[in-house]
A and B are shown apart, each in its own frame.
Chain A
Amino acid sequence: MSVDVRTEEATTLMNTEQMSLWKRLTRIQAAQIVLVLVAIVIVFSVMAPDAFPTVFNLRSIIVNTSIFAVLGVGATMVIITAGIDLSIGSVLVFSSVVAAKVMGLMGASGWGTAMVGVVVAVLAGSAWGLLNGFLIAKAKVPAFIVTLGTLGMALGVSQVITGGIDLTDVPGEFVDAIGFGDIIWQVPSLTVVAAVVVILGSILLHRTRFGLFTFAVGSNAEACRRVGINVDRQLIWVYVISGACAGFAGILSLAFYQQTTIGGQSMTALTVVAGVVIGGTSLFGGIGSIFGTVIGLLIPVVLESGFIIIGVEAYWQGVVVGIFLIGAVYLDGLRRTRSMRGGSGRKPTSRQVGDENLGNREKDG
């Protein structure tokens, strides 16, 4: 191979780099699911122009998605490692119970008490995450079983602590400001707080080495071990983050409902996993985005709101979300078999933009 050819290849590498940005954007499943969400919103807006696209309705939609979105940050990271965390609903309950207990002992009033509650809830959630991560990474018990076990344990301990009766020890200032308040105009504080968590989570996942390792471990854990990445430590951290998100969601839930929700979180983990998967994160690991998860979580909430407004029984929401869920995993499967086969001599199907630049490379590889 002559020097000239190599120089030409280098130029080619640079060109494809610039040209593929749009291609990369459009190929993210999250981008496609945004279109689905927009279509749903347009349909409901046309069918109920006076009731659906109102500030009040949109505000209630984003409020109802906010707590799920906080849970979705951790759940997305876990699923990118090809794991699962079924315990988040129970960990949310446990964290809110422990936080309410502590805040109750402190008199259940004032911002200082509320901040202690936040810290306690996040630590309580992280502790369950640490247990999950340790059992999965070190004891090699499958994540499905570990988190199914801690799902029952966290809820059971919560019921033991409370005798099954919901606690209401939340400072009023905290409820007014975070649970119901608006930062400005009709922008709910709860949503702003959740958005901060989502943005921080996205930066961590998509911009840092920690995030890269999360994808890498989900993509090929053995390859990571061979290059010296501490796979066990990475997994433990990811489950701790998932637990911490559940803990934080627990204190937000306290602020919103003004009480713990011991009996109300049995479907939470499944709702969040559905949102993560609809948003384009692969259950097989290595692919995903928190942005997609937020869109995936908005879809069920928008459907429920829309169905109620146009007079369809809200029960249909479950049916439609189920179809979306199965469709999303079907598409993921198609995508994987199409693009990850990686046999020799195969012409990639993804070659569209910039092919003319690549013509000279076809004979190689």
Chain B
Amino acid sequence: MPILEARGIVRTYGQVVALDGCDFDVEPGQVTALIGDNGAGKSTLIKILAGTEPAEGGTVTFQGERVTIHSPSQARELGIETVYQDLALCPHLDPVNNLFLGREIKRGGIMGALGFMNRKAMREQSIEAFQDLGATVRTLSEPVGTMSGGQKQSIAVARASAWASKIIFLDEPTAALGVVQTHNVLELIKRVRDKGIGVVLISHSMPEVLAVSDDIQVLRRGRRVATYRTADTNIEELVATMTGKLDEGMVA
């Protein structure tokens, strides 16, 4: 039973049809890879489901109920978090403040009402969140802008998993990372999945997709053209599906 079902999602940008009646499913406790060639509509689909862009048509069913996700805040209330390609961290803030950005723990009583934060609790919970995932964070007191790409991505993933109760979307989380860092982030993704959260991974790296996902949904020209169990497919088949060669009968 999928936790989220998108059916017939439509989104156009002027003359360009980004999503042309796209379907998509997210299963809890599974890594679902979302793949497709450039312009297939992957990022647009994620933005719609994360509430940063409106859909022009189609339906979204979340936990058996029809929903319209019209803002990032609403998506977060539903337990949906997104890790964006460009990280979306504040480079001048430390990992704790980034982890809690927009969800700071206030102090009790009148101090809290005046906007004072409980930094101690925030820091302790951050340490817990990073440990929980084995995230590699060098220090909690320096701006994340001074950290490596892998550490920043670890913080972004840890933030999403700390708050997501249902679904995490990851838009090319390893695109800018080296081999070791990519490995660490993929390990993180598996741990998030093991918590029972539905993980959606956009990636252009087929070996990565095959290594970490449980099933794979392929988009082409704004539609879902195939769904595979990862164990039952291979790179050749995926590439052929993405580029449309399968339809044209060029691959047996």
Give A contacts to B, CB under 8 Å.
Answer: 1, 5-6, 9-10, 13-14, 16-17, 20, 24, 204, 207-210, 212, 215-216, 218-220, 222-229, 285-287, 339-340, 342-346, 348, 350, 358, 361, 363-365
Contacts and interface: CB of A to CB of B under 8 A. Distances in A.
A15 B138 CA distance: 11
Interface in B168-213: 176-178, 180-181, 184, 187
B225 interface: no
B109 interface: no
B139 A345 contact: no
Interface in B114-152: 114-117, 123, 127, 130-131, 134, 136-143, 145-152
Nearest to A338: B146
B71 interface: yes
Contact of A339 (B76, B87, B143): B143
A9 B90 CA distance: 24
Contact of B101 (A24, A224, A358): A224
A219 B92 contact: yes
Q: Per DSSP, are chain B's interface residues mostly helix, strand or loop, or mixed? A: loop
Contact of B90 (A1, A223, A365): A223
B210 to A, nearest CB: 22
A9 B184 CA distance: 15
A310 B89 CA distance: 51
B117 A220 contact: no
A225 B141 CA distance: 24
B72 interface: yes
B145 A9 contact: no
Interface string B30-62: 000000000000000000000010000000000
Given A10-B131, A208-B117, A361-B136, A344 B177 contact: yes
Interface residues on B, range: 35 or more
Contacts of A363: 180
Interface centre among B134, B152, B184 (most CB of A within 10 A): B134
Interface string B72-106: 11001000001010011111110001000111101
Contacts of A342: 91, 145-149, 152
Nearest to B103: A227
B149 A223 contact: no
B134 A365 contact: no
A345 B72 contact: no
Contact of B137 (A13, A227, A285): A13
Interface centre among B73, B115, B176 (most CB of A within 10 A): B115
B131 A212 contact: no
Contact of B73 (A222, A228, A340): A228
| 3 cross-chain pairs, A with B, having the tightest CB-CB distances, nearest first | A286-B92, A344-B149, A227-B102
A5 B116 CA distance: 35
B154 interface: yes
B145 A340 contact: yes
A344 B88 contact: no
B104 A209 contact: yes
A225 B178 CA distance: 29
Interface string B150-162: 1110100000000
Contacts of A340: 91, 143, 145-146
A6 B134 contact: yes
Given A228-B102, A229-B101, A364-B180, A16 B146 contact: no
Interface centre among A14, A285, A348 (most CB of B within 10 A): A348
